[in-house]
Structure 1
Amino acid sequence: MSQVPAATKAMRVLKFLASQPDPVPLERVMRACELPRSTAYHLMTAMAEEGFVTHLADERRYGLGVAAFEVGSGYARQAPLQRLARRPLATLADRVGESAHLAVPHGRDVLYVIEERAPGRPPLITDVGVRLPAHLTASGRAILAELPAAQVRALYPGKDAFVARTGVGPTTPAALRTILVETRQRGYAVEDGEVSPGLASIAVPVLDHNGLPLAGLAVTYPVDGSADVAAIAAAVRATAQTLSRRVSGH
């Protein structure tokens, strides 16, 4: 028997919520985790205060919070993903002649963990270790488009969650939802001048064995008309699919 029963119960709740496609009522949590109502209520309240659980009061349901998302994405920030991605990313940069990078989710930001700069291309803002708002970057949008809608609502509950860099980009949850719908329909994410004027990016998510996004793989190119956008999109998609297969074991 566990010597830390409260921790065991909290981990059971997190594992259960992570297995659900949408937020669930408290009664579902109670039954699945075999918790009395009072225990479940106090546990969910404490976990919500720490950011591991989100309480959707209007729906009377509970889902994973931002802290759980950050813990879950921690694996992607460690060496296994970076080791697997470095060679495909270098090959991608050589193939398209533009700089490529890999970013992992970090709350409302993305954290850049690999950059492969193409010869003759200028340095980008996306150096390793840089964090940028996910809703403005192609990598972030590729990741957000693969998250459950409830998770995106938890990350961006209102206008205060949005920041701007160049004066363009979504500033409301509705505007972000429109971009994510377009991203899913298109099959890849884009941004044009929302991070750096004169530069655009195309990104595709890297997915784990559950089909959830671990990272965004992107190529950045100048918007002067010299880039073959269709070829870049195809190459990014192919590389991301290859990396997803390697990461997931599929």
Structure 2
Amino acid sequence: MVGRSVPAVVRALDILELFGHREALSIPEITSLLGLPRTTVHELVNTLVQRSYLSPVPDHSNRFRLGVELFHLGSTYAERLDIAREGQAVAAEVAASCGETVHVAVLDGTDVVYVAKIDSTASVRMVSAVGRRLPAHCTAVGLRLLASLPDERLAVLFPLDEKLEGLTRRSITSPRTLRRRLAEIRSDGLAYDNCESNESVCCVAAAILSTGGEAVAAMSISVPIVRWNDKRGAELASHVRSGADELSRRLGHRV
């Protein structure tokens, strides 16, 4: 169901869409083109400038052009499209090489969203599926992505005085324990899920990096606990590192 639109948001978007055809515009020009009150345009433009969706043209402070935040959003959107497409292809290669289930996921707030999945040839019940969300702190992919965030962001997402949701009896439910776990992941570069999202499954995950070196997604390999041991874990860690590196290369990162 489509809800009621918010007039102020619609007007702000109308302003931004004008710049799809013009490199720079002044407030009087925007007012004329949209037929809006000058004071309304002035307030909306100021807000968009404050949020970096518009920026003043150098040496022409009365004229504006698209700001860097739109480039950031557009780049993120493009990267995620590439991640879904390329991630499925690379996940298939990794799954073929190791015979286990492979996932690619992105972080969205305190959740991970799975954008690619290749199932193992063996029959294993997994709680994941493309498009599904899970609490990030309960999954290897989520832990690896959370480890890439600055402490300031983690403090906002996981206040120390709030207990975390668990999916199994082994899930992390303490924000302080989560902080310690993330510090270990930063040091090692890999994240492990020891039956924390599924009582019967272990996972190992590595980060997927963008052109600028940011962790934009993570890849994991999942294996039933009956097939998990130190030797197998080391083998899968090597596979997931190689797969994450390959997907990073396809996204433009120089490994």
- TM-score over 0.5 for the pair: yes
Residue among 169, 172, 184 paired with 2:171: 169
1:239 correspondence with 2:250? no
Q: Percent of counterpart pairs with the same letter? A: 31
Which residue of 2 is the match for residue 89 of structure 1? 91
| Letter matched to residue 194 of structure 2 | D
Distance in 1 (CA, whole Å) between partners of 2:96 and 2:113 is 23
Which residue of 2 is the match for residue 213 of structure 1? 215
Once the two structures are superposed, residues 13-53 of structure 1 have per-residue CA deviations (whole angstroms, 9 ceiling, x without a partner) of 9x9xxxxxxxxxxxxxxxxxx9xxxxxxxxxxxxxxxxxxx
Deviation of 1:77 (Å): 7.6
- Unpaired stretches in structure 1, ≥5 consecutive residues: 16-33, 35-70
Once the two structures are superposed, residues 122-178 of structure 1 have per-residue CA deviations (whole angstroms, 9 ceiling, x without a partner) of 241111111000011000011011111211112112342611111222223221111
Distance in 2 (CA, whole Å) between partners of 1:72 and 1:126 is 27
Residue among 194, 207, 218 paired with 1:192: 194
Once the two structures are superposed, residues 87-114 of structure 1 have per-residue CA deviations (whole angstroms, 9 ceiling, x without a partner) of 1110101111100011111110001111
Deviation of 1:211 (Å): 2.2
| Letter matched to residue 191 of structure 2 | A
Would you say how many aligned residue pairs link Structure 1 and Structure 2?
Answer: 195
1:143 correspondence with 2:142? no
Distance in 2 (CA, whole Å) between partners of 1:161 and 1:73 is 34
Deviation of 1:187 (Å): 2.1
Q: Do the aligned residues in 2 keep the contact of 1:110 with 1:139 (CA within 8 Å)?
A: yes
Distance in 2 (CA, whole Å) between partners of 1:216 and 1:134 is 11
Query: Structure 1 residues 189 and 72 mapped into 2: Cα distance closer, same or farther (>3 Å)?
Result: farther
Which residue of 2 is the match for residue 8 of structure 1? 49
1:107 correspondence with 2:75? no
Query: Structure 1 residues 239 and 206 mapped into 2: Cα distance closer, same or farther (>3 Å)?
Result: same
Distance in 2 (CA, whole Å) between partners of 1:77 and 1:172 is 32
Distance in 2 (CA, whole Å) between partners of 1:187 and 1:81 is 20
Distance in 1 (CA, whole Å) between partners of 2:123 and 2:227 is 15
Which residue of 2 is the match for residue 22 of structure 1? none
- Bigger CA radius of gyration: 2
Partner SS state of residue 135, structure 1: helix
Once the two structures are superposed, residues 195-228 of structure 1 have per-residue CA deviations (whole angstroms, 9 ceiling, x without a partner) of 1111110001111123221111001101114561
1:229 correspondence with 2:233? yes
Deviation of 1:73 (Å): 9.5
Q: Do the aligned residues in 2 keep the contact of 1:73 with 1:105 (CA within 8 Å)?
A: no
Distance in 2 (CA, whole Å) between partners of 1:225 and 1:93 is 15
Partner SS state of residue 162, structure 1: coil
Q: TM-score, normalised by structure 1?
A: 0.71
Q: RMSD of aligned C-alpha atoms?
A: 2.5
Query: Structure 1 residues 76 and 113 mapped into 2: Cα distance closer, same or farther (>3 Å)?
Result: farther
Q: TM-score, normalised by structure 2?
A: 0.69
Query: Structure 1 residues 161 and 114 mapped into 2: Cα distance closer, same or farther (>3 Å)?
Result: farther
Distance in 1 (CA, whole Å) between partners of 2:26 and 2:207 is 38
Q: Do the aligned residues in 1 keep the contact of 2:94 with 2:239 (CA within 8 Å)?
A: yes
Q: Do the aligned residues in 1 keep the contact of 2:112 with 2:141 (CA within 8 Å)?
A: yes
Of 203-212 and 189-198, more deviation after overlay is shown by 203-212
Query: Structure 1 residues 2 and 96 mapped into 2: Cα distance closer, same or farther (>3 Å)?
Result: farther
Q: Do the aligned residues in 2 keep the contact of 1:147 with 1:212 (CA within 8 Å)?
A: no
Distance in 2 (CA, whole Å) between partners of 1:117 and 1:214 is 22
Partner SS state of residue 138, structure 2: coil
Runs of 4+ in structure 1 displaced over 3 angstroms?
A: 71-74
